[in-house]
Amino acid sequence: MSKNKLLARLFFTMLKIGLFTFGGGYAMIALLENEFVSEKKWIDHDEFMDMVAIAESTPGPIAINAATWIGHRMAGFFGSLVATLGMCIPSITVIFVISLFFEAFLSLRVVAAAFRGIQVAVIFLIFSAGLRMLRKMKKTPFTVTVLAVTAVGMLCCSLLAIEISALYYILAGGLLGVGGYVCTAWRAQKGNHRQVNARKGDGNDLS
Of 88, 106, 137, the position where a domain reaches its end is 137
Model confidence at 25, in pLDDT bands (50, 70, 90)? low
| Total domains in the fold of the chain | 2
Residues 54 and 88 reside in one and the same domain? yes
pTM over 0.75? The answer is: no
- Asked whether residue 82 carries a pLDDT value surpassing 90, the answer given is yes
Residue (of 132, 147, 138) closest to 38 by Cα position: 132
Counted residue by residue, the chain has a size of 207
Helix H segments across 137-207? 141-159, 166-206
Residues 86 and 146 reside in one and the same domain? no
Residues 117 and 169 reside in one and the same domain? no
Query: Average of pLDDT values for 118-141?
Result: 75
Three-state SS for 162?
Answer: coil
Cα 64 to Cα 18: distance, rounded to the nearest angstrom:
9
Range of the domain at 127: 1-137
Residues 145 and 133 reside in one and the same domain? no
Query: Average of pLDDT values for 61-80?
Result: 86
Cα 8 to Cα 39: distance, rounded to the nearest angstrom:
17
Helix H segments across 22-140? 25-33, 45-57, 62-100, 102-107, 109-136
Residues 168 and 190 reside in one and the same domain? yes
